[in-house]
Homo-oligomer: A and B are copies of this chain.
Amino acid sequence: MALPKRSEDYSSWYNDLVKQADLAENSPIRGCMVIKPYGYTIWEKMQAELDKRFKETGHTNAYFPLFIPKSFLSKEAQHVEGFAKECAVVTHYRLKNAEDGSGVVVDPSAKLEEELIVRPTSETVIWSTYKNWIQSYRDLPLLVNQWANVVRWEMRTRLFLRTTEFLWQEGHTAHATKQEAIEETEQMLNVYAEFAQNILAIPVVKGVKTANERFAGAEETYCIEAMMQDGKALQAGTSHFLGQNFAKAFDVKFAKKEGGLEFVWGTSWGVSTRLMGALIMAHSDDQGLVLPPKLAPIQVVIVPIFKKEEELAAISELAAEWVKELRAKGISVKYDNSDKYTPGYKFAEYELKGIPVRVAIGPRDLQNGTAEIARRDTREKFTVDSSLLTEKIPSLLDEIQQNIYQKALDFQKQNTHEVNAYEEFKKVMNNGGFALAHWDGTPETEEKIKQETKATIRCIPLDAANEEGKCIYSGKPSNRRVLFAVAY
């Protein structure tokens, strides 16, 4: 079934693509998705790349409980406001057979004394544990990450972008000094940005959130913001400087080297399966997924075109050699000699799935010593000398990775505007895109702009230059531009 065109119905295009490309689907449980094998394989590749970077920067993984006692949430005043409201609450620990034989019912005698919350994020349970792990400066820094599922009860959900349950990683670190904690926060933001650029092939704007958009319990929230093809922003990762807020809430102090006790400084940082949504929306086209080679479960597919068995045999012999050589170079390759589907059907299917390079070879190619290569990103086709095929593919994959990034970067630049008047601002927000504009620094103005245009301040870019100007809304003075967009 053909996908809707992006230009006609971006939202349906996205939903249909996620389903048709076998990435994910809705489950019978409201707001929870099933991540299908093809989608999960892409997520595993993201995980491996991120995990490598976390370990290279000195972090180790651990695992903390799924459940959080209700009282823990209340210990940090901001945090409970942000997270206690929409969450899954476990109240009982047993079912029993219904007396009328109709199935099972909750056993009222198995009511928990204190309700448990399915973790929406783990700061509270982790800092309650850190209290036992940290006594002295010798125990610091503590650099821990967790790969886990979390639950936030969302009213309106969309596959990958906003789901009640999602998968993520959450880093939680503890430090002896404020400076060191801020450096950690910034380091992890840079890890995310580098990963976005080099692996997801998505350019991002690094910045800090305004107070309105800050993580509940953080002193400062850093973020990376990516532009989707409809010009909307997607927050692709956050890194929080927690100050001493959670250390104070859970009484985590350490003996300083120079004597005396001090509260520990904290950070937390995370990315989630939302990145799958970013990946899909940043690059894909009306024919289907476009995957950067570094995340493609299959990088190269070889499709034989044949009528007679002996033609297939000759092609298969050559293809087997290619498969061997490409795998030796660390390239994942599939030879699809199935006779269930026609080559045309296969071509469409592999386009839909975003396989970066397709090689087609038929009897005439065999005679001529050639093969046809099709690039998924540009949809160009060209003929190569078959003896050079395996030599050319690694650099072609690099070129595709680079091209996908460049295309997204060009798009981002073309659709980011310096805006100096509110009318102009509204036009940009309406058409889709990022606006760099002056803002008077008040939450009130931020809120009014949001109500009138749906745009929010995505971040105060880290690289924003000092520049005197006037707030586009209130006309009050401002000394640098902030980034506005309508966001997912």
Taking Cβ atoms with an 8 Å cutoff, the residues of A that contact B are 25, 27-29, 32-37, 40-41, 43-44, 60-74, 80, 84-96, 103-104, 106, 115-118, 125, 128-129, 132, 138, 144, 148-149, 151, 153, 165, 167, 340
Contacts and interface: CB of A to CB of B under 8 A. Distances in A.
Contact of A125 (B28, B69, B167): B28
A68 B125 contact: no
A118 B96 contact: no
Contacts of A96: 85
Most chain B C-beta atoms within 10 Å of own C-beta, residue among A32, A34, A86: A34
Given A28-B72, A70-B95, A85-B96, 4 more contacts: A25-B129, A74-B104, A80-B104, A91-B91
B65 A29 contact: yes
A149 B66 contact: yes
A399 to B, nearest CB: 29
Contacts of A72: 28
Nearest to A92: B89
24 contacts: A25-B132, A27-B64, A27-B125, A27-B129, A28-B125, A28-B129, A29-B65, A29-B116, A34-B65, A36-B62, A37-B62, A37-B144, A40-B62, A43-B63, A66-B165, A70-B95, A86-B93, A87-B95, A89-B94, A90-B91, A91-B91, A91-B106, A93-B153, A148-B149
Contacts of A340: 138
Contacts of A129: 25, 27-28, 34
A27 B95 CA distance: 25
A68 B29 contact: yes
A64 B95 contact: no
A106 B89 contact: yes
Nearest to A59: B37
B104 A66 contact: no
A439 to B, nearest CB: 31
A103 B118 contact: no
A34 B90 contact: no
B90 A90 contact: yes
Contacts of A149: 66, 148-149
Nearest to A165: B66
Contact of A103 (B63, B71, B94, B117): B71
B104 A95 contact: no
A118 B117 contact: no
Contact of A62 (B32, B34, B70): B34
Contact of A40 (B60, B95, B118): B60
Contacts of A148: 149
A32 B148 CA distance: 15
A269 B103 CA distance: 26
A431 to B, nearest CB: 37
B94 A87 contact: yes
A60 B44 CA distance: 11
B89 A85 contact: no
Contact of A66 (B36, B95, B144, B151): B151
A84 B106 CA distance: 10
A40 B144 CA distance: 11
A214 B439 CA distance: 66
A69 B116 contact: no
B116 A106 contact: no
A32 B89 CA distance: 17
A145 to B, nearest CB: 9
Nearest to A167: B63
A29 B61 contact: no
Nearest to A27: B65
Contact of A93 (B37, B74, B87): B87
5 residue pairs, one from A and one from B, having the closest CB atoms:
A32-B65, A37-B60, A74-B103, A35-B63, A89-B92
A142 to B, nearest CB: 9
